[in-house]
Amino acid sequence: MAEIVRMPKMSDTMTEGVIAKWHKQVGDAVKSGELMAEIETDKATMDYESYHSGTVLYLGAQEKGTVRVNDVLAIVGKPGEDFKGLLNAAASGTTGGEAPKPEAAKAEAATPAGPAIDTSKIKAEIVLMPKMSDT
């Protein structure tokens, strides 16, 4: 089954990445752990290793193209496999399954998480972590 490879968030401030170089092209075999691309972030150029094994069926951008974090970077699957449904689902913001109904989301939000816990008798001191950098 084909799998979507999404643009990872490679730093805390990254919102998009630029494909500096593709090491795999459509039709190439790729194994998990193999170098797939070099991605320029807002801070550095980093190697991206595939987490999927199979054949590259689709590339989400050309070299020097920009891809937002969590958008489709590539699709990996079996040779000749139809991936258009995955691509359409990704474009519409779903994963190919049925979208959650708004009523179900409201019901989940209204359901309490569990009984309230009385913390007034716990002797504790709150210690906060100091800010170590701007980011």
- Which two three-digit tokens encode residue 128? 């906060």
Domain layout of the chain by residue ranges: 3-82
Mean pLDDT of 5-13: 90
User: What is the rounded distance in angstroms from the CA atom of residue 5 to the CA atom of residue 17?
Assistant: 14
**Cβ-contact 5, 72 below 8 angstroms:** yes
**Which residue has 């937002």 as its token pair?**
68
Mean pLDDT value of segment 55-82: 91
Residues 30-47 have pLDDT tens digits of 999 999 999 999 889 999
Does position 133 have pLDDT exceeding 90, yes or no? no
Query: Which band of pLDDT confidence, cut at 50, 70 and 90, is reported for residue 113?
Result: low
**pLDDT band for position 118 (cuts 50, 70, 90):** confident
The proportion of the chain whose per-residue pLDDT surpasses 90, expressed as a percent, equals: 47
| Selection from 71, 55, 57, 64 nearest residue 37 by Cα | 64
Residue with more model confidence, 104 or 5: 5
pLDDT band at 94 (very low <50, low <70, confident <90, very high): low
- The pLDDT value recorded for residue 96 is 44
Question: What integer pLDDT is reported at residue 97 of this predicted model?
Answer: 41
Q: Per-residue pLDDT for 66 more than 90?
A: yes
Mean pLDDT of 100-116: 56
In CATH, the number for domain 3-82 is: 2.40.50.100
Q: What sign has the CA pseudo-torsion 33, 34, 38, 39?
A: negative
